[in-house]
Every structure is written in C-alpha cells, then in structure tokens.
Amino acid sequence: DQQVKQNSPSLSVQEGRISILNCDYTNSMFDYFLWYKKYPAEGPTFLISISSIKDKNEDGRFTVFLNKSAKHLSLHIVPSQPGDSAVYFCAASADNNDMRFGAGTRLTVKP
Amino acid sequence: EAGVVQSPRYKIIEKKQPVAFWCNPISGHNTLYWYLQNLGQGPELLIRYENEEAVDDSQLPKDRFSAERLKGVDSTLKIQPAELGDSAVYLCASSRTSGGLQYFGPGTRLTVT
C-alpha cells in the first residue's frame, strides 16, 4: 500500500527560479514528515523535516509546507541552483515508528 | 564523524547463488535499518534492529533472506538463494535511538543475472 505518494517522477527548473516538489499521504496517523535528497551512487541524506503541529518550516533556501487537511506537503527551493539537481524523497512516520517513503522526484536545475 | 559504511558497493551474481551485504553504522547509534530500494521507487524497510534485537522484521522475506546484528554493532544481510527479482539497491541506515533521524549508507547495488 502506497501511503506516501510523489506523483511527479521528474521536474525541470531554470537556475534561480523556484522548485516546488509535492507529496501526498493517506495515513492520517502520520505526525512527522521529512525530505531526503539523493545524489547518484550515494545514500539519501536528510534535508528538512516538519512536525504535524506546524504548517511551515524553513531552513535557508528550503521551506516545507504541510497541509494536514489535504494530507499534502510540499518542498520549496528558492532560488534553485544546479547543485540541487538530485532525487528528492518525501517520507513520513507515525508516533516515531518506521518511515514510509515516496517514490521520489528527480529535480533537474538547468543553468 | 564517520558515516554509515556499507560493502560491497556493487555485486553481480548468478541466480540461485548466495550473497551477503555488510553494514557498519555510525558509532553510538543503537538502531539499525536495512532497506530495499527498487528502481524508480523509494526505500522500503526490510528489518529494524534495536541493539542486537530485531524488533521489526515483518517485511523481510524469511524464506530466502536473513539478517543478524551480533554484538549490536555491525550487521549483515544475506540472501540465499538469490532470484532475478532481488536485483535492487540495499540500503543500510542507523539512528541514535528508535524514531531518531536516520542516516543512510551509500547502498549496495545487487544485480542478479
């Protein structure tokens, strides 16, 4: 069962513009959400997270928005840089239990 | 601080052969995870260890997969015999405590021919 969904397999953005990556979930028990970034031949690395008690968390160029009523979260990267080109995974967990990952979105930032 | 170490990085074997993967977690991390990542998919949990105890192995195909974490540090994941459908990346991750932030190793890419 796909509890975390990333419906866009890929996204292409011009350098300097905003990148918006989307993620939907079905399990209303999820209370913690994370974004991981993955470069080729490397493991996923943690990028940013948000607790279900918040609707926004910001860290430099990266902001995650959470809409609990819609069971939707998004990652905004602004301004986008070529080094941001990677696969981004959305993940969610409930009550500190195991994480469920989406299928990932491949972001390409063009110079 | 050294990250999660996995070996080998790549492995090619023929079907029906056995294969083993090794993981050394970050020092001081009590929780260790093995994930399977198929092409175009996100990581899926196979097994989670709290120290040397496997506390969640519900997704581990026990007919051919086995894992151990002796002494609560290093861990090995074994497949015997391997099938064509086992071709994937096997990721190891660790966290300081259960539910803590997970740090991933680079993975082992397995190809079964």
pLDDT digits (tens, 9 = 90+) for B26-81: 999 999 999 999 999 999 999 999 999 998 888 899 899 999 998 889 999 999 99
Under an 8 A CB cutoff, do A45 and B105 touch? no
The four Cα atoms A53, A54, A59, A60 give a dihedral, to 10 degrees, of 180
- How confident is the model over B9-35, as a mean pLDDT? 97
Three-state SS at A110: strand
pLDDT in tens, B72-109: 899 999 999 999 999 999 999 999 988 889 999 999 99
Whether B25 contacts B92, CB under 8 Å: yes
pLDDT score, position B27 = 94
Q: What are phi and psi of A79, to 5 degrees?
A: -80, 150
Q: Which residues does chain B have within 8 Å of residue A4's beta carbon, measured at their own beta carbons?
A: 42
Which of A1, A98, A105 to mutate to test binding with chain B, by most B CBs within 10 Å of its CB? Answer: A98
Q: What's the start-to-end Cα distance of chain A, in Å? A: 38
Sequence letter at residue A56: K
Q: How confident is the model at residue B1 (pLDDT cuts 50, 70, 90)?
A: low
* Residue closest to B81 by CA, chosen among B21, B20, B13, B16: B16
Give A104 to chain B, closest Cα distance, Å. Answer: 6
Residue-level length of chain B: 113
Residues of B in contact with A86 (CB under 8 A): none
Predicted local confidence at residue B26, as pLDDT: 96
DSSP letters spanning B23-53: EEPPTT--EEEEEEE-TTS--EEEEEEETTE
Question: Closest chain B residue to A100 measured between Cα atoms?
Answer: B44
pLDDT of residue A97: 77
Mean of pLDDT over chain A? 96
For residue B2, the model assigns a pLDDT of: 82
Amino acid at B103: Y
Backbone Cα Rg of chain B: 13
Residue found by looking up tokens 């680079």 in the block: B106
Share of chain B above pLDDT 90, in %: 86
Give the separation between CA B1 and CA B79, rounded to whole angstroms.
31
A42, A89, A96 member nearest B42 (Cβ): A89
CA distance linking residue A25 with residue A8, whole number of Å: 14
Interchain pair A43, B98: CB under 8 A: no
Q: Is the predicted pLDDT of residue A31 greater than 70, yes or no?
A: yes
Residue A109 — pLDDT band, cuts 50, 70, 90?
Answer: very high
Q: Which two tokens stand for residue B91?
A: 């990721």
Among B23, B37, B49, B91, which would you mutate to test the A interface (most chain A Cβ atoms within 10 Å of its Cβ)? B37
Q: What angle do CA A38, A61, B25 make, to 5 degrees?
A: 35
Distance CA A99, CA A83 (A): 26
Per-residue pLDDT tens over the stretch A35-92: 999 999 899 999 999 999 999 999 999 999 999 999 999 999 999 999 999 999 999 9
Nearest-Cα distance to chain B for A69, in Å, is 24
Of B43, B98, B101, the CB nearest to A101: B43
CB–CB contact A46 B45 (8 Å): no
- Report how far residue A71's alpha carbon sits from residue A20's, in angstroms, rounded to the nearest whole number: 16
Residue B28 tokens read as 């001081």
